[in-house]
Amino acid sequence: MIRVYLGLGANLDAPLQQLQQAVTALSQLPQSQLAAVSSFYGSKPMGPQDQPDYVNAVAALDTTLPAETLLNELQRIELEQGRQRKDDRWGPRTLDLDILLYGEEILATPRLTVPHYGMHQREFVLYPLLELAPQLHIPGLGALADIAKQVPRNGLTILTPGLESGLAAPQR
């Protein structure tokens, strides 16, 4: 099993419920077990500010799925929850699921870059990840705790508490 960290985000169509549904879907992935989910955080949007605030979280998943297969599964979940892929990179969305870390691997394929290319600059990734894995070392970047110290919270607020290991489906 490989420990994978996933970023979750939504700001359309009841974003809190979108993330709750996504966590349930993640808990049902084949060859995988959901280990933990951070608190849900409210955050300001990246890019255009004329869109609703986001709800973000990080999930820890233990899996034997290859990285590209996992990416396919995440994109399937996004589509099932109404995600429409557009050219607007930082525009509003019903659900965004990103592979942040795939074990200790460094991957660069046409479809996938791991560690996630912008994670070290994003408070809505770093602080939820820090909640789950405070001792984590990010391949090629360094200690998560040291990286997080360099990134201000930028209004990041906890909306709901996280889930402990072993919980399959959240009831919030």
pLDDT of residue 160: 87
pLDDT of residue 82: 80
Over the chain, what is the mean pLDDT?
89
- Is 96 designated active site? yes
- Is 87 designated active site? no
pLDDT at 168 over 70: no
- Is 50 designated active site? no
First-to-final CA distance of the chain: 28
pLDDT tier, 166 (very low <50, low <70, confident <90, very high otherwise): very low
Distance CA 131, CA 146 (A): 14
pLDDT at 172 over 50: no
pLDDT of residue 169: 37
DSSP-H helix ranges across the chain:
15-26, 67-80, 123-132, 144-149
Q: Which position among 53, 62, 88, 96 bears the catalytic label? A: 96
Q: Which position among 13, 83, 85, 87 bears the catalytic label? A: 83
Q: What is the pLDDT of residues 114-131, one digit of tens each?
A: 999 889 999 999 999 999
Q: Which position among 93, 122, 146, 172 bears the catalytic label? A: 93
Distance CA 35, CA 23 (A): 11
CATH class of the domain comprising 2-160: alpha beta
- Is 98 designated active site? yes
Torsion of CA 47, 49, 51, 53, to 10 degrees: 90
pLDDT at 94 over 50: yes
Residue-range domain boundaries for the chain: 2-160
CA pseudo-torsion sign 10, 140, 101, 128: negative
Phi, psi for residue 137 in degrees, rounded to 5: -110, 125
Helix axes 67-80, 15-26, angle to 10 degrees: 140
